[in-house]
A and B are shown apart, each in its own frame.
Chain A
């Protein structure tokens, strides 16, 4: 089947969206951008295609009626088993890479002792792996670096103490190896992992074995369907790194505008607050960009502002919004400079203001910046779509709602739970248009 793919190479994360011939979203994938955009693009795309496969499994199984009533349960199990398979392969790879790294590391302890400790750490990690993907298990992140990292650090500390080597040695090996492992793309092992996962799922859900043939047939049918990468469009700061000609590259302004239009066809104004920039975009009824403004010369009022505040407060980024929601008093934070806001924050704390009230003031300060950029782009028109990582922050949304109503009256504010994929969706739609409407074919990078 023909697939149209959009990849958004952002400063923090790289996102991919796959759509089909009828512009239905098949799958979405996300990964950390790391320092290597080539890999980030490949990993996000692979993830989106995998996600697309699961979408197709679900469709095929629903159509066959083989899993009446237990479709969600089975697909959920299959996905967890698949993730677990993937994780184990990467873990093995990491182990081998760490062992190789011993040769070149100058360690205080003997290589042999460290090697033995390493083997013990990975033995335990492998045993712990299934629990990580058990139903209901909570993971802080879905990126291998984060999952394996936190497991490794915790287990490594214990093992180092038990065998009497320095913990530093194990840390050193991990740091040297993780980038290499993270930058490998496991695209060709997807089929193998899926088949292995299927076996596991039948073991985990023995009640399904009686219907094995009816379940397996549509899944294998989907697996045998090639998801052809008909056309890929890249956007975001890393777009120039994509292995395609310029024809395949679109600015993220255009992609965000179109993506927001695809999500909400009534969109007239788009606000995107991402990690390092804030964009205000006006689109026409076809999703074509009419004008835009971005933050100038300074990243104040972007996602990083919140990241900085979280660091200053020694809190997690995702804890800021909920805390600000507890506010009972309006505090005005005047500084639009990220660093000065940090100073203002400490000053307010010293004056005895409550953290939640200060937090609410900071969220309002960000949105005030955005309001100014919106005003410069031509104001807010109905409907108004808010995208980007900050759109997930309830306190930011609350401040935005209040300020929009104050300045422009009551408008429809759209926020999609998948808004982080807006740019990639716009890219995928451009890819679809290029082929289906303009009859283009893929061009390699010159």
Chain B
């Protein structure tokens, strides 16, 4: 499974608990506060008499869930948080002992392992079992199996929103109608019943007004990478930027405020001609501009990032930064048509796109962000999205004439991050880009 969104800056390897010497932008601190606040809301949900929902990042119907006062948990985010905090390895092994095979998605195993350890979340605070599992099915079949396992084990209520796959590469009106119908007839009544709160469409409209503002600012932030040097890293940095909007904060005034602060901060970096902020401070000279497909590795996140910025490589755009909502091609939540826009949001998720659409999108990024090439980080335990990645690579190479490379890691299983191998391939790739560039320049001169 791809997706998710992130949180707190990862700790350096081997020193998870030490106060870190890590450089962060102001917006990063604000982001961390938000994420921690959500964990506190989950921790205190029971005592505050709030029901708890769980739903996945792609197709996350946050505004709708807020209409029913749910405290909102996002299982992939919990898994990656545990990955960054070096807790996922044990959880995965616990889940394997419980009968999950080695090839199962490691987000799933990290989540199951965490739940087996009692009701404790990544921050060490209580993490109550969900009262409802809202499965917004947007292209990753593992999501369905995942909630099925959770339901089987803990007897949670489940409600499924079936989102048709964009097999033809476009959203037909009947697809949208189908999703809206399910929202009206199944999802909303179920959420009303479980929460005991009556659905109020004006409340949904109000949240969506906030969503639009945050979405506008997020797009500006992500597109700032079109500048040279890019003021942000559109992959490693972007996982922080997408945190609030892809999780429990889309539609909240806090998110609107966060993206406003972030946008200003980035605009200032552009004005000053600065590159991205890395955990070691401002990045040095920008030597390579890349587009990345696939989620990052979370267990060695900082080591992984370092392999890029140390070589002067910045990711200008990534498909992963779109996993909780694809806004840069114009989609916005629409307060005037709230249910229809929730349907379109789900249908337009990156995970719900077919291969040709994903290829088009990557080619567009390479062109618009003046990237040197494409890098695919293929996830060992992701059966949904590893299929077709080599085909994407070939096709993008062919269409853009830019070199592409392929590396393999995993989401949260520390056993599948081989630093020496990854570094070797990355360095080879960067040098290959450089060599091709030099050759192309020599060709032009000649």
Interface of A with B (CB < 8 Å)?
A: 237, 250-254, 277, 284, 286, 288-294, 296-297, 376, 378
Contact = CB atoms under 8 A, between A and B. Distances in A.
B432 interface: yes
B408 interface: yes
A297 B394 CA distance: 22
Nearest to B311: A246
Nearest to A254: B431
Contact of A237 (B418, B420, B432): B420
B431 A288 contact: no
B428 interface: yes
Nearest to A239: B427
B439 interface: yes
A288 B435 contact: yes
16 contacts: A237-B420, A251-B424, A251-B431, A252-B424, A253-B428, A254-B431, A286-B439, A288-B436, A288-B439, A289-B435, A290-B403, A290-B436, A291-B404, A292-B405, A293-B406, A296-B408
B390 A254 contact: no
Nearest to A376: B390
B416 interface: yes
B303 to A, nearest CB: 15
A286 B436 CA distance: 10
A289 B432 contact: yes
A254 B397 contact: no
Nearest to B406: A293
A292 B424 CA distance: 12
A376 B394 CA distance: 9
B425 interface: yes
A286 B421 CA distance: 27
Contact of A251 (B394, B403, B428, B439): B428
Given A288-B439, A293-B406, A254 B428 contact: yes
Contact of A250 (B390, B404, B431): B431
Given A237-B420, A288-B439, A378-B394, A294 B432 contact: no
Contacts of A254: 428, 431-432, 435
Nearest to B426: A251
Contacts of B394: 378
A286 B418 CA distance: 32
B50 interface: no
A398 B403 CA distance: 33
B427 A251 contact: yes
Interface in B387-445: 390, 394, 397, 403-406, 408, 416, 418, 420-421, 424-425, 427-428, 431-432, 435-436, 439
Given A237-B424, A378-B394, A253 B432 contact: yes
A294 B404 CA distance: 14
Contacts of B436: 288, 290
A103 to B, nearest CB: 39
A293 B424 CA distance: 12
Residue from A284, A286, A292, A378 with most neighbouring chain B CB atoms (10 Å) = A292
Given A253-B432, A296-B408, A291 B424 contact: no
B257 to A, nearest CB: 43
A269 to B, nearest CB: 15
Contacts of A277: 421
Nearest to B410: A297
A376 B390 CA distance: 7
B390 A294 contact: no
A297 B416 contact: yes
Interface string B69-81: 0000000000000
Given A297-B408, A297-B418, A291 B397 contact: yes
Interface in B298-353: none
A372 to B, nearest CB: 11
B351 to A, nearest CB: 23
Contacts of A291: 397, 403-405
B432 A292 contact: yes
B151 interface: no
A284 B421 CA distance: 24
A393 B397 CA distance: 35
Contacts of A237: 420, 424
B380 interface: yes
Contacts of A294: 421, 424-425
A286 B406 CA distance: 23
**Closest 10 A/B residue pairs (Cβ):** A251-B428, A253-B428, A289-B432, A296-B408, A251-B427, A251-B431, A254-B431, A288-B435, A288-B439, A376-B390
Interface string B171-197: 000000000000000000000000000
A297 B380 contact: yes
Contacts of A288: 432, 435-436, 439
A252 B432 CA distance: 11
Nearest to A296: B408
Nearest to A438: B438
A371 to B, nearest CB: 15
A288 B420 CA distance: 23
A288 B438 CA distance: 10
Contacts of A253: 428, 431-432
B409 to A, nearest CB: 9
Interface string B370-394: 0000000000100000000010001
A294 B378 CA distance: 13
Contacts of B390: 376
B424 to A, nearest CB: 7
Contacts of B439: 284, 286, 288
A289 B394 CA distance: 15
A339 to B, nearest CB: 15
Contacts of B380: 297
Contacts of B428: 251-254, 289, 292
A289 B428 CA distance: 9
A396 B432 CA distance: 29
A217 B344 CA distance: 87
